[in-house]
Amino acid sequence: MMTVKSAIQLTAALSVALAIAGCKEAASSAAPGMPPSVPVAEVVVRPVTPFLEFTGSLTAVKRVELRPRVAGYIQKVSVPEGRFVEKGSELFLIDPRVAQAALSAATARLREAEAASSLAEAEHARAEQLFAQKIVARDRLDIATASLTARKAQVDAAKAAVGAAQLDLSFTRVTAPISGRVGQTLVTEGNYVASGETPLTTIVSINPLHVYFDVDERTYLRSLAAGRDNAAPQGSQAAKVMVALLNDKTYSRPGRVDFLSNTSDRGTGTVRVRAVVENPDGHLTPGLFAKVKLETGAAQAKVLISDQSIGTDQGSRYVLVVGQDDKTEYRPVELGPVVDGLRVIEQGLQPGERIVVKGLVRPGMQVTPQSAAIDGVPIAAPQTVRAAQ
């Protein structure tokens, strides 16, 4: 027991000694007059394109409600519901036996008409010879000529009937008329479908897509009206947009305006606008709501900083600027929108100035700057970003 107690007392004594040494070391490192080290970064300056944000809806460029072209019973269904299909892929098969029989009958009538036409040609040739020898009268030759013309017409009609029968036979194989995402199967095997009446399924194209949104009259007059004649896929001056889904944090899909409504809605004071957006990965889905950034002017150089550098003082916003003497200075700022994770500063900061990125620092304090990037964004890599007006 005495040995255990001695060990405990020795351990406690060592712990107290180490604690006292740590306190002395901390006190010496935080000696009065030593400026605190704080992360400091130069503000980011980049070209920023002004924009306005709107809420729109995605719509397929092409939409097909698939219906049969011939009547009959469904023999096979091979619709990959909800998946992408290429143009020409077989989706339904209607029992082809009736169409095949009709084609065989039409082909037989064509051969019959061709045989009759051959006989009429032979009779016409004999009539011409006999008329040349003045053995038969002129009316015999006229009758032979008329008969030959009628037989040739019957051949043409029989060929047309064969072509129609071949079309009907091909229509028993219902294929995708466009490439796109196919919907739900509305008819199953064994059901009878009427020509042009029974809906089978729907197909919507997914690349590219249209996005419709409404802009106010002021935006229309200021940014769109002057270039409406160029609002086409081929128009080099068509207004540009950026599109994102409601849960996207950034706008990563560029597009262009290709349609402006020819009238304004007097009830809402808005003009309907349509833009084309590429969707190569198929992530965008027709019918979803989308966020739209509409560019409204030319790019201008703007100052950008991280939101964590901004403080609040009785409703006003400010940042701490680090001067040449490494002293902090209180600087009120006017905030703009957030673009690519950085906040646009409309007024209050100039290019080249340094600010305190974060830390418990008061105005007028002497600090020891430590180089830092603003929100991890490289300062020396200029690129064009877009900012809301």
pTM greater than the 0.85 cutoff: no
Question: Is 345 strand, coil or helix?
Answer: strand
Query: Which of 96-105, 136-145, 225-234 has the largest mean confidence?
Result: 96-105
pLDDT for position 290:
93
Task: For residue 153, give the H/E element and its range.
Answer: helix 138-171
- Angle subtended at Cα 372 by Cα 368 and Cα 376, rounded to the nearest 5 degrees: 160
Q: In the chain, what percentage of residues exceed pLDDT 70?
A: 84
Could you state, in order of their start, the residue ranges of all structural domains in the chain? 37-51+300-388, 52-62+205-295, 68-93+173-203, 96-171
CATH code: domain 68-93+173-203 is 2.40.50.100
CATH fold of 96-171, please? Answer: Helix Hairpins (1.10.287)
Calculate mean pLDDT across residues 236-242: 77
pLDDT for position 55:
93
User: Residue 228 — pLDDT band, cuts 50, 70, 90?
Assistant: low
Distances (CA, A) of 2 to 6, 9, 300: 6, 11, 82
Per-residue pLDDT tens for 286-304?
A: 999 999 998 887 778 888 8
Burial 330-363 (b: 16+ CB within 10 A, else e): ebebeebbebbebbbbeebbeeebbbbbebebee
CATH of 37-51+300-388, one of 3.90.78.10, 2.40.420.20, 3.40.50.300, 3.30.565.10: 2.40.420.20
| CB distance 162 to 106 below 8 Å | yes
CATH of 52-62+205-295, one of 2.40.30.170, 1.10.10.10, 3.20.20.370, 2.130.10.10: 2.40.30.170
Per-residue pLDDT tens for 25-57?
A: 433 433 455 788 888 888 888 888 778 889 999
Per-residue pLDDT tens for 172-205?
A: 999 999 999 999 999 999 999 999 999 999 999 9
Is the pLDDT assigned to residue 143 strictly greater than 60? yes
Calculate mean pLDDT across residues 272-296: 91
Calculate mean pLDDT across residues 359-386: 64
User: Residue 22 — pLDDT band, cuts 50, 70, 90?
Assistant: very low
